[in-house]
Amino acid sequence: MGLGLLLFIGGLVIIAGLFVWSRQRQALGFIPTADQMSSIDFPVANGDDAVLVSREHGQLVFVNENARKWLNMNGGDPSLEYIAAMAQPKDSFLELFAGQGQASFQLGNRWVEASSHNIPTGSETRTVVVMREIAGNTNHPGSLDLTLAMNVINEIGETINASMGLQQVYQALLTIVMKAIPASAGEICIWDANTKHVSPLGWVGESTYVINLQEAGGDYKLGEGISGWIAQHRKAALIANVTDVTAIQPKLPNFYKSYVGVPLLLGDRFIGTLELANKQANTFSQPQLAMLQAVSKQVAISIYNTELYGEQAQRINDMATIGALTNLDETSADSRTTYLALNSRIAKILDAGVAGVLIYDENRRA
């Protein structure tokens, strides 16, 4: 009697477990197997591609073997957040899951081009992302020219010297980039954390634009114009035609018809923006955007190193002037004049409201 009851209870537990599993499996919906994935017709897929499949809300339901190798997964199941953390720029990768499109970005140590496709599966739509490693000799019209990108990066490294001074560095960087991406104008804007503005400190193009910009305030507030939009969202911008009602609008209309721009980032630090503009519409597309993204880190590093060098040089100069002031004490009859000059200089260097040099009096012990 006891054995029969135990078998009955065991059977109920198994049935309940199967019921819970079937409900969970039904909630996930259609999950393609590797064989089913290979039967789906992707225009750009081949055996060397990495393939990801996600649900509408970003939950990954399939990662093929190539993708697992790229991500160094040893049997685990990567999440979308884990993969996005490996992608640079991150937004280019995530936007593939927001809608059908194409993008180029760096995934770990690989440069990849990717396309996303919406595949109806019953009551839901799956997003299938196909990623292909970019070879240096690729001829695909929408691809990043990796060889050209590396040439630009190498030229920046060979040409830019931190001792050149910031203004020379801005102009040199724009000249190098615009050789690879022909444009009517180029601009480097630097972020000011105090004013929350980006200021155009590097410019190649019509001088009338700079004059009109000065009359309109001289810089870009957060969200103002294309530079301000990039600064606010920390995202790249591609405007094929400013007459498009959905396009981001420049601060000064009637100058240029198409724009491409990227944020300059070093880790979490926002340096500024790099943008190119053209008088003709539809002159920039995904390859030019991918090129700017590929070289933007080297541009940011060059600007940062030049700023750092300038700060160090100024600090050395400040220390030298302090040393010159202290030498005056040996010949000056009025030591108070020397201390006044010394305090004033120290206060200015340290941006201090009050500065003083206190001399110990052994007799008074004060």
Instruction: Please give the average per-residue pLDDT across 340-363, as a whole number.
Output: 84
Q: Is the pLDDT of residue 13 over 70?
A: no
- Which pLDDT score, from 0 to 100, does residue 43 have? 42
Identify whether the C-beta of residue 294 lies closer than 8 Å to the C-beta of residue 111: yes
Burial class (CB in 10 A: 0-12, 13-18, 19+), 121: middle
pTM of the model: 0.61
Residue 85, token pair as written in the block: 């953390």
User: What letter would DSSP give residue 208?
Assistant: H
User: What are the Cα distances from residue 346, in Å, to 312, 355, 359?
Assistant: 16, 7, 16
**From CA 321, how far away is CA 317, in angstroms rounded?**
6
pLDDT in tens, 153-173: 889 988 988 788 889 999 999
- Which pLDDT score, from 0 to 100, does residue 140 have? 54
